[in-house]
A and B are shown apart, each in its own frame.
Chain A
Amino acid sequence: MSEITKQSLTELVESIKNKKLSSSEVTKAFIERSEKSKVLNAFITEDFTSALDKAKKFDQKPNLDLKLPGIPMAVKDLFCTKNVKTTAGSKILNNFVPTYESTVTENIWSEGAILLGKLNCDEFAMGSSNETSFFGNVQNPIDKNLVPGGSSGGSASAVAGQLTPITIGTDTGGSIRQPASFTGTVGLKPTYGSCSRYGIVAFASSLDQAGPMAQNVKDCALLQEVISSFDAKDSTSIDFKRSHYSKDLTNNIKGKKIGIPKEYRVDGMPKEIEDLWQKGIEYVRDCGAEIINISLPHTSYALPTYYIVAPAEASSNLARYDGVKYGYRANGENLIDMYEKTRSEGFGAEVQRRIMIGTYVLSSGYYDAYYLKAQKVRRLIKNDFDEAYKKVDAILTPSTPSSAFKIGEKTNDPVSMYLNDIFTVPVNLAGLPGISIPAGHDAKGYPLGLQIIGKAFDEQNILNIAFAMEEKINFKNKITDWWIK
């Protein structure tokens, strides 16, 4: 059985299409492994019985023309799933059962995949270590008491630990790419407007994007092909010609111009990250690409900008949680008292902190000094990328300034936690696609990732570069199954 969960998504699709494996066999294998992996705490809600039923039904009348025929898949608990509890990692949504399906998950099920369950994440996707979840920490399969990153921590842990062949996360400031980097997996944040935000619990609407998290680049391309679609239900969804990302995947990147931004060489960056980056540069050069030094002068302003824009949008989006129509409600002496107690008891500390930052920067007298200022700097950051893309086709950077850290190591200092996203946040502010691929290990044997940033709507190009690099890097994740007794 365990051999099944070792297969990549592409291999599993092949096996089911060739009738070497049935959907039931595959689904059972992932459920059995998940049952033995409770220590990882990757799931918030398991939907195993229903998954087995669906697999059985699929096998009775298999449609093998679909892209994900009978493939079981768990998804981040930020995607609304019809009739299956959706919590966003929060106490305030602990009993919320959506009456509708998110477009992204709808796309996945209509290609034949089967829901295994809902994966743990930081509360409302606010966090970089999965430690803000109401449902507890997630363990990184790489080592005991190591964070999997966040906010898509359960998703990253589940893919690396082989509890699901592939998954989807969401990325507002690095929430797909940072956990992918911490767990030795591949994570793609698509261009803003590429994947519909309909039915995704909103955090910061001008930054949020859903994207695939996978064991390898090819799997990632296949899922991107499935989830990326124009959707009238999302007013920011963009109608552009989407590639057949997996079919058009090529390792031929000869002549591509790859930019290396000098501002990403930040103070205090560990030598192993610098070395990894250099190695990455060698790999793309070996593939026949050309390296060009570039400058993104406003890089160091990206995080401060993000910590105005994202909390501002969050404070507005999260105003809907008032204990009236759904979710948790605390008792209060009157309506206002009920609101205030509900939100105080229902939201965790980090979410409260961000709502309060957002409320403050939008409040009377401070709007211009903070929010408007941040929107202006956001323009400057986007302009930096526009300038750079006159000279290069893509940009190569490290994914994170360090490898995964221990649970509890950074919880007392919000700013040091925020610094995790220093290389990923600019990409969200500019609305660009970015992919993190595993590229090496640090001294402790923990994985390290490299990020490739593309032009808007140029997912195919960064997938190709990632595919070519993956072949050269030949990364092997060091997972010992320490949590399985």
Chain B
Amino acid sequence: MSIDLKTIKHISKLSRISVDEQRAKKLVGDLNSIFDFIEKLNELKTENVKPLTSIAETTLKLRSDEVQSKNIREQIIKNSPQDNEDYFVVPKVIE
């Protein structure tokens, strides 16, 4: 199995990471060498193996839904890349 330039561009779209032509070409090489290495798993027969989805096989505990951090609105807004006192600001989405 080999990953071509078209696939890299598709994954980059899915990942929401823009890559230019030069980086995309490098990624073709990198990802192919990594996937060559990963292909080793195909040596194993696993039809009857149950997938391990969680290492700590416990049931989720419930807790009451209470607000613990209060009055931090200002601090949270301060972390936003575009300053505004009340909202998170993004580029215009409706024409």
A interface residues, Cβ below 8 angstroms from B: 95-97, 99-100, 192-193, 206, 232, 235-236, 238, 298, 300-301, 303-305, 307-308, 315, 319, 322-329, 332-341, 343-344, 347, 352-353, 355-357, 359-360, 363, 370, 372-380, 382, 413-415, 418, 430-431
Contact = CB atoms under 8 A, between A and B. Distances in A.
Contact of B91 (A99, A325, A334): A334
B67 interface: no
A307 B38 contact: yes
A327 B43 CA distance: 43
A431 B55 contact: yes
Contacts, number: 158
Contact of A363 (B11, B49, B53, B55): B11
Contacts of A353: 27, 30-31, 34
Given A99-B69, A315-B15, A338-B90, A301 B80 contact: no
A378 to B, nearest CB: 4
A354 B52 CA distance: 21
Given A325-B76, A355-B17, 14 more contacts: A99-B75, A308-B41, A327-B81, A338-B90, A344-B19, A356-B11, A359-B14, A360-B3, A370-B38, A373-B41, A376-B51, A378-B51, A379-B50, A415-B33
A356 B63 CA distance: 36
B15 A305 contact: no
Contacts of B79: 95-97, 99, 325-327
B25 interface: no
Interface in B1-60: 3, 7-8, 11-12, 14-19, 27, 30-31, 33-34, 37-44, 46, 49-56, 58, 60
Contacts of A378: 51-52
Sorting the interface of chain B by its residue count into under 10, 10 to 19, 20 to 34 or 35 or more gives 35 or more
Contacts of B41: 301, 304-305, 308, 373-374, 377
A340 B80 contact: no
A373 B52 CA distance: 10
A204 B24 CA distance: 25
A340 B18 contact: yes
B88 A380 contact: no
Given A324-B88, A344-B17, A356-B11, A235 B60 contact: yes
A410 to B, nearest CB: 13
Nearest to B33: A415
Contacts of B39: 304
